[in-house]
Structures are given as C-alpha cells and as structure tokens.
Amino acid sequence: MNAPKKLTTGDFINSPKVIQNLQRLEAAFGAGGSRLVISDVLDKDGHQYVNLVQKGGGVLGVALLGYTYALEQMGIRFLRLAGTSAGAINTAMLAIIGKKEDPKSVKVLEAVAGLDFFDLVDGRPIAKWLTRKFITKRGFLNKLKAWWLGIGIFYTVLLVTTFVCLWLLPHNSPMLHFTQTLVIVLLVATLLLGGVVYYITRLLKRLKCSGYGINPGNFFYDWMKDQMQQHGVNTMEDLVNKATQPVPGMHLRTTNKQGTDQLSADVTFIASELITENKIEFPKMCNLFRPPSRINELHPAGLVRASMSIPFFFESYFIYGIPREDAAIKAAWLETFGLEFPPGEARFVDGGILSNFPVSIFYNPAIEVPRLPVFGIDLDDSDPADNSGDMGAWTFMGYLSRIFNTVRNYYDKDFQLKNKVYSKGIGTILLPEFNWLNFFITEEEKLALFEKGVAAAADFLLGFDWQSYKRDRSFMQSTLEQHSNRKGD
C-alpha cells in the first residue's frame, strides 16, 4: 500500500481556497494590500506593523500559519510577538527567521509541512496507544467506560455465581464439574485483573517519576533547537538579538506626539511555573533562573518547550540548579514576585494553564493614541453543543472542557472585558471539527487547517477599521485616567 502523499509548500499556498481568499483581499485592498490601512507604523518599503498575539491550541497551530500567511501577503509585518503553547511555536519561528521586514510564513510552512506530527508523541508504546485510541478519537472515553462497565459486570456475575454454586450445591452434585470450572475461570480472571491493576500502578509510578507526562518531549525540543540553529540562533543572546532587530526606516503615517520613541521589537513565550505558581514571560524573565553572565546556559528552544508542555501529555520542563544565593537572582525574584527565597529549581507546564491568549502584555497605559494595533489570533475548537447554554446538550468531555477553559481563560477574558477595544483586533478561527490533540492529523487535515486560517484572516481584515480602533483605544485610555483621578490612592 502506497504511503499518503506528503504535501509541499506549493500545495498549501496554491490551494484554490487560499487563492480565492487572497483574491477577495486584493479586490478590496489592491495587490499586496496597497490600499489597506491597518496601522500608522511603516518601514522604508511601506510594510505596516502590528503587535501579534497567537493563542495555544495543539495541532490546530497549523491554522495560525494560514492566518499569518494571509496577513503577510497584505503587506503586514510584526513588531512585537507573543504566544502560548502552539502559539509560542509559530511566534518563535516568526521571530528567528530573516529580518523584520521579510515575509516569514512560507518558511515556517516549509518546516511544518515536513514534520510528521506523530513524531512528537515520543513516549513508550503505551503512550502512543493512549494517544491514538484515547486522545485523538472522539467518543473513545465512552467506549472505555463501556469496556470497564462490561468487565465489572462480568466479574461480579462470575464471582456471585461461583460462590452461590460453592455454597448451595452439594459436593457430590452432578454440577460439581461446572462449579470447579467456575472456580478456575474466577481465579484466571482475578489474576488477569490483578495484572492489569499492577501494570497500571507501575505506569502511574513511572508517570510520577517522569513529570506526570506520557511523552518526554525530547523530539520537539531537538526539532525546535535544529530550527533555531538553521537560522543562526544558538544562545539566548542570539534569540534576543533576532527578536529585537530594528525596523529599517521606521516612520509614522500620521503625527503622533509619542513619535517612534520606545517602539521596539521583542518576543514573549508564556509558561506556567508550578513550584512558585507563577506565570513566566520568556525571555524577559530568564533573569529569575540565571544571572546575566550565565544567561546563555539556558537554550532558547527550552523556552518554547516549557510553553508547550501540555499537562499529562508532555512531561514538565525543568530548569535545575538555579543559583538561589546569587544576589542578582535574589533581587530578580524579590522584584518580580516578592519572594525573598528563590527556588532551587523550576518546573514548567503549558502556559495556557494561566494565560492562553496573553493580549494584556501589550497594553501600555502611557499611550494616549495608539500608533499600531494589537492583533490576536484566536483558535476555537469548541463543539457547538458543548458551547451552548443548553446544559442538557453537553457531553461529559464538554463539561470537563468548560471547567478547564473557565480556569485558563479567566485572566485573559477579564482583561478583554475591561478593555474591549482589544477585541476589535482579534480574529477567530472556528475549528469545531478538529481535535487539538490529534497528532495523527492527515495531510488533508493540515491543508484544511491552513485554508481556514487564511479565510479567517481575510474575514478579519475586511471588517477591521483602524480609525475606529484608534478612537476607541484613545477613549478607553481617557476613561481609565478619569476613573483613576476620581478614586485616588
């Protein structure tokens, strides 16, 4: 049987659906977005700049590529970048490739198109089986429950029947042979169940020793490290230098009293640190774990690995040997989190636990009139039934998902509710038919995700109004200042 065809970059960008959506944009804004106005910050070639936040979402991150590809085709570039989990991966790639003014999504696509996603599932065979059966297939939880219920009923009936026969039937009964057979079957079933329980216990013990994750995440770390090396990023210093490259010929379209002062590029990956229970912004907070003279002991690929450490699916990411007695380390922890005694090690899981859509990090209270917008790419794979107000229609997994999403999205949602103008810069990619943990994703599904990302970006740009965004952002700031002056300290 022939292996399925591996799609090339050309298959993605030449997809009829992709071309159709780009034609919609060109009809509205001209080739390359020549008539599009979405920012007042431009470079020498006329590219417009935005700050970009990308949401986490497992394999759904392919849709993020489609979205940024469409933005770049319309002459949009990214000054500051931030992302969580899958969003951190695309954020990292956009930060390390080429120069600020270069289009990058095609090169990111080349790397992702050549990646077999199931290679990321690098645990033991049981991990691969669990991923294939339990995680990537909808409805498998119900099947598993049915299996265990059936096994429980069978064992209970067997146990009761055996004891009834032993208790009621005389030893010289013609049914003695039947009773002996029941006893043997019961013993075999008990041994089998005992073996299963013992094996599960061993797995749970091993899970604990491996950071409560079924996959080490080593493949992803090595892949990310290789991608960085290909683009000249081998140290933390290299990453910062790449991410903070100046924009050639940066200027403003209109007069703004802030000018281009303090308009500088950077990159942020969000991770959740469990020992001190804090949200970590990398690389900004690397000074918590190493003093400036030793900062290159941390490899930048580890920052992305920390951000995408999906609990239970991937092992936690650790930073060991924090020099907790170092004066610079002590000062950093005290200033950042108010902790007088830094930990000796740090343990990270997916940044989405605390902030899956970190739009808030780009809020600057000193800005009265914005010079560029904050764009966000939201991934929404919720089932319409589980997303409805009809609680009777919720599935069990939908119920658990709502609990998890309530916790992880509260901080980001709270910021957006209090600063509603930022919602104007957010485009949503609706993906209810996809499973964010389906690492068995097919080439056709990758293409469909990319196409949906492009379509969502087209819809967003066609509805975005920069002048309205500026007015609302300025009004929001003046309102906040009035409230602050009224309340005092």
Any catalytic annotation for residue 390?
no
Summarised one tens digit per residue, pLDDT across range 314-368 is 999 999 999 999 999 999 999 999 999 999 999 999 988 888 888 999 988 888 8
Q: Which residue has the tokens 């800005």?
A: 367
Residue 127 included in any domain: no
Residue 128 included in any domain: no
Q: Which of 192, 210, 228 is the last residue of a domain?
A: 210
- Locate the DSSP E strands across 231-275: 251-252, 266-273
The set of residues, in sequence order, having a beta carbon less than 8 Å from that of 318 and lying 6+ positions away, is: 211, 345, 346, 347, 348
Residue 457 included in any domain: yes
Summarised one tens digit per residue, pLDDT across range 255-313 is 888 888 889 999 999 999 999 999 999 999 999 999 999 999 999 999 999 999 988 88
Any catalytic annotation for residue 85?
yes
Whichever domain contains 468, its CATH number is 3.40.1090
Domain membership of residue 174 as a residue range: 134-210
Summarised one tens digit per residue, pLDDT across range 111-159 is 988 888 888 888 777 667 766 666 655 554 566 567 777 888 888 888 8
Residue 292 included in any domain: yes
pLDDT above 90 covers a percentage of the chain that reads 55
Q: Which of 43, 122, 350, 378 is catalytic?
A: 350
Residues 437 and 291 reside in one and the same domain: yes
Residues 360 and 436 reside in one and the same domain: yes
Residues 456 and 411 reside in one and the same domain: yes
Summarised one tens digit per residue, pLDDT across range 162-188 is 888 877 766 666 667 777 888 888 888
Q: Which of 39, 85, 105, 272 is catalytic?
A: 85
Query: Could you give the CA distance from residue 324 to residue 345 in angstroms, rounded to a whole number?
Result: 9
**CA 374 to each of CA 90, 136, 262, 277, 369: distance values in angstroms, whole numbers, following the listed order:** 17, 33, 16, 28, 13
Lowest mean pLDDT among 89-98, 207-216, 229-238, 286-295: 207-216
Residues 167 and 51 reside in one and the same domain: no
Residues 239 and 172 reside in one and the same domain: no
| Residue 2 DSSP symbol | P
Number of domains into which the chain is organized: 3
